[in-house]
A = this chain, B = another copy of it.
Amino acid sequence: MQKIVTLKPYSLITPTASISTGTHGGRAKCLQRLIRLDLPVPTTVALSFETVHQIASGQLPDTGSILNAFDPGTLFSVRPSSADPDWGGPSAVLNVGMNDARHAEMIETHGETAATALYLRFVQSYAVHVARLDPDMFLAPSEPNAEALRTALENYADETGEPFPQDTAAQLGEVLRSMARAWEGTSARLLRQAKGAPADAGLGLVVQNMALGVGQDESGSGVIQFVSSQTGQSQIVGRYLSQSQGRDALKQAKGALFLTKDARGPSLEDLAPDIFAQLQGFGATCRQKLCEEMQIEFTIDAGKLYVLDAIRIQRTSRAALQVAVALAEDEIIPREDAVLRVEPRALSELLHPQVDPAASRDLIANGIAASPGAAVGRIVFSSAAAQASAARGEPCILVRRETQPEDIRGMHAANGVLTERGGQTSHAAVIARGIGTPCVVGTQGIEITHSRKKLVVADGRSFTEGDLITLDGATGEVLAGSVPMQQPELGDAFQTLLNWADEARDIGIRANADTPAEARMADAFAAEGIGLCRTEHMFYDQDRLTVMREMIFADSAEDRQATLDQLLPMQRADFLDLFIIMAGKPVCIRLFDPPLHEFLPKEREDMRDLAESLDLPIAEVTSRVDQLSEFNPMLGMRGVRLGITVPEIYDMQARAIFEAAIAAGEQGAPIVPEIMIPLVSAKREVELVKARIDAVAAAVRIESGVEFDYRIGVMVETPRACLRADEIAQHSAFLSFGTNDLTQMTYGLSRDDAGRFMSDYVKQGVYAEDPFHILDKDGVGELLQIAAERGKKSSPGITMSICGEHGGNAESIAFCREAGFDYVSCSPFRVPVARLAAAHLSIRDALTADR
């Protein structure tokens, strides 16, 4: 049964016609806006999505009635108009209406060259895009002369068995049908869906009177924009080419003019100062009225200027930021709008150097893009080599099968990290993101032999220590040699936008920072405090590691206390540094968390060294290492379990924190330190640790004669702690959710081991997303909600936050806002991104509420 076409087949675009992006596409809507601004737009009609969809289904409207909208005997262009220009669409077709008769007439009115060029161009694009003939036969470069035209027409007739169509209505009908069908083809659909288009995304079409751009008097076409697509700074960019159509001026350098006066050659401003001034005026109008930086496509037809189209300028992240800020500073758009116009992920691009897009790339391997930015350096295979390299001031890339906690110093020293194993949340990935080091993990097809310091890639090439490679942490690509970089420059616009974001934002953003360097970065990025300071990283310095090991081997309580007494001033200095840097902002310190065996050597040789330095028989060292080794270290003797079993460690840390807080106060940076207990699963754990910490505080108060405050809270990272949040909250000033571990336990999934099947899992849709990357709302999220509800109910004033890797994620921030959390904490590098993402959420909420 045939469907009845009820829609009007077209709308003439007038200032009052009923045209919207959602029904006719962005180009149609934009053209209406230009017409409303009284810009000289040729007569245009728009076909709606619905009409085009019916055309694709075989119901062609009466094309004659479309032609009625135009002066008879004129030519037309047909262009696509989808809801989002990024979704692509069929190529424009120009000069519809040309035929033998009109060609003959125009030889008289416009000269033979112009007339023939117009006809040839139409025949070519009709043959290729409408009749789907072989492009090679029609698009070979040739002078637009009579010979070329005749050949094209003959080829057309030979290939199709019919002469080139001469009826304008028939030509238009075929053009519309072919464009409609192209849109609904499978490959076009897949391509646009990959860019985020919905399955039923529609296509509109616009039919526009041609301003010819060829002929007598000054005729030609060009494009112009008023800011740089690279930087967003004011700059007139574009080209103009006499006797050309469409975007020819951009394609064909030869003969194309600069727009504004230019030392390199002639310009449109020289050639036609009035027209240039008119264009400048149009640009200003567009910016002011359309609230955007537009690229204008214009044609001069026999000395008269026409505006055919205008589109939002293409822009890099940097330019997007600059444009948005400038528009708001000029009060063309509100600040909130400027904030919304910059995507949070665009910021993270700005924060890292990038491989120069223009550089040639010698790809040697492909892995998971685990931490953004690009890095060049010489290969090193060990943390020691990385530190040595850094000491020599030589950039290096640390290449490991996988990283271990003892590699942290090496990772700090390296410019980039490459691992064979691991996923988005492997040790390497997490640490690298935390310290802002570019990182590629889970790299397919490479083979690393640490012992022989050799890296062999899939194509058989082999690299060794000292060879230069480049990591692209944005794409996961590993490149041979040193590839040129683009350095980030964070301009004023960056700061301005983030300040505006902060004004709008209604959830706190803190940073996870373990070292003074990270704290400084957190502070530079205006984090509102440190949400997670992991103290264990402080023990990996060689001098401290030795003392740590002595503590582990201490035979008596006195010996253990003696080593802790050595660690105390070091920890105190660590904390004082952080307190001074954060200058009064809150700092949340997580008590010692990892299992002790992480501090012991793994290799026989290192054990021998340790035995020697501790003056112990090697058998004793190996037996202690054996004793402390665990089947599942993640679920073993760590966190509060260690704190309760060997309470002297937490005692020492609490004392260091309190003494540092007193010293910070004396140095003008008063602080209320926050102390966080890790891996809690029962309220009694909190009671026991809290009692000891309170006792240490009392002792320090008495010794020092100084009063100070502190807050004790819990890192909620076991499912049980979530379920028992009501009773745990009764003893806690805050609950901070460690979503990494919580995700591991909720799924029963070690993130260190998940790499081997995670990509399989996500590919098969077993998990919609890697839950270590995107917070699992259904499972982990429900536990967070349960905990938040119960915690608040039992202790209404309690502070709630998350401090896992998910903290910087827009989705997680949305979740935390809805759950009523006070802040999120993320790696310092993610802080600007998080500030912006949080602002987006509150602005959008306000917009929704206004409606």
Contacts and interface: CB of A to CB of B under 8 A. Distances in A.
14 contacts: A630-B750, A632-B633, A632-B750, A634-B750, A635-B750, A644-B764, A645-B756, A682-B767, A684-B764, A684-B767, A718-B747, A719-B745, A719-B746, A720-B748
A772 to B, nearest CB: 12
B631 A631 contact: no
B761 A644 contact: yes
Contacts of A776: 720
A40 interface: no
Interface in A38-82: none
A648 B13 CA distance: 60
Contact of A757 (B645, B681, B757, B761): B645
A720 B720 CA distance: 12
A682 B776 CA distance: 11
A570 interface: no
A240 to B, nearest CB: 57
Interface in A610-647: 630-637, 641, 644-645
Contact of A720 (B630, B746, B761): B746
Give 5 nearest A-B pairs by CB, closest first: A635-B750, A636-B753, A632-B750, A720-B779, A718-B748
Interface string A381-418: 00000000000000000000000000000000000000
A748 B681 contact: yes
Contact of A635 (B753, B757, B760): B753
A351 B723 CA distance: 39
B632 A778 contact: no
Interface of A: 630-637, 641, 644-645, 679, 681-682, 684-685, 688, 717-720, 723-724, 741, 744-750, 752-754, 756-757, 760-761, 764-767, 776, 778-780, 782-783
Contact of A723 (B720, B724, B782): B782
Contacts of A756: 636-637, 645
A719 B746 CA distance: 5
Given A636-B756, A644-B766, 5 more contacts: A632-B632, A635-B748, A637-B756, A644-B757, A688-B764
A388 B635 CA distance: 15
Contacts of A748: 634-635, 679, 681, 717-720, 741, 745
A766 B723 contact: no
Contact of A681 (B635, B747, B750): B747
B717 A757 contact: no
Nearest to A760: B645
A300 to B, nearest CB: 60
A753 B630 contact: yes
Nearest to A748: B718
A443 B745 CA distance: 30
Given A634-B632, A748-B718, A752-B632, A724 B778 contact: yes
Contacts of A765: 684
Contacts of A632: 632-635, 750, 752-753
Nearest to A744: B635
A735 to B, nearest CB: 16
A428 to B, nearest CB: 13
Contacts of A764: 644, 684, 688
Nearest to A447: B623
Nearest to A749: B635
A685 B779 contact: no
A761 B757 CA distance: 36
B641 A757 contact: yes
A791 to B, nearest CB: 15
A680 to B, nearest CB: 9
A716 to B, nearest CB: 11
Nearest to A636: B753
Nearest to A631: B752
Contacts of A685: 766
B779 A723 contact: yes
A819 to B, nearest CB: 16
Contacts of A633: 631-632, 753
A645 B630 CA distance: 27
Nearest to A684: B766
Nearest to A767: B682
A681 B724 contact: no
Contacts of A723: 746, 778-779, 782-783
A719 B645 contact: no
Nearest to A719: B719
A686 to B, nearest CB: 10
A776 B682 CA distance: 11
Contacts of A644: 757, 760-761, 764, 766
A685 B757 CA distance: 13
Given A764-B644, A766-B644, A766-B688, A637 B753 contact: yes
A815 to B, nearest CB: 15
Nearest to A778: B724
Task: Report which residue of A753, A754, A782 has the largest number of chain B beta carbons within 10 angstroms of its beta carbon.
Answer: A753
A631 B688 contact: no
A297 to B, nearest CB: 48
A293 B745 CA distance: 54
Nearest to A681: B747
A721 to B, nearest CB: 9
A636 B757 CA distance: 9
Contacts of A750: 630-632, 634-636
Nearest to A401: B626
Contacts of A745: 719, 745-746, 748
A754 B679 CA distance: 14
A723 to B, nearest CB: 5
Task: Report which residue of A634, A748, A749, A750 has the largest number of chain B beta carbons within 10 angstroms of its beta carbon.
Answer: A748
Contacts of A744: 635
Nearest to A595: B753
Nearest to A384: B627
Contacts of A630: 750, 752-753
B767 A631 contact: no
A635 B749 CA distance: 4
Nearest to A718: B748
Contacts of A682: 766-767
A458 B195 CA distance: 70
B631 A634 contact: yes
Nearest to A392: B631
Contacts of A637: 753, 756-757
A600 to B, nearest CB: 15
A154 B724 CA distance: 68
Contacts of A741: 748
A779 to B, nearest CB: 4
A444 to B, nearest CB: 14
A717 B756 CA distance: 21
A134 B765 CA distance: 82
Contacts of A779: 681, 719-720, 723-724
Nearest to A779: B720
Contacts of A631: 633-634, 750, 752-753
A747 B645 CA distance: 17
A749 to B, nearest CB: 5
A764 B692 CA distance: 14
A767 B685 CA distance: 9
Contacts of A688: 764, 766
A644 B767 CA distance: 12
A241 to B, nearest CB: 56
A719 B783 contact: yes
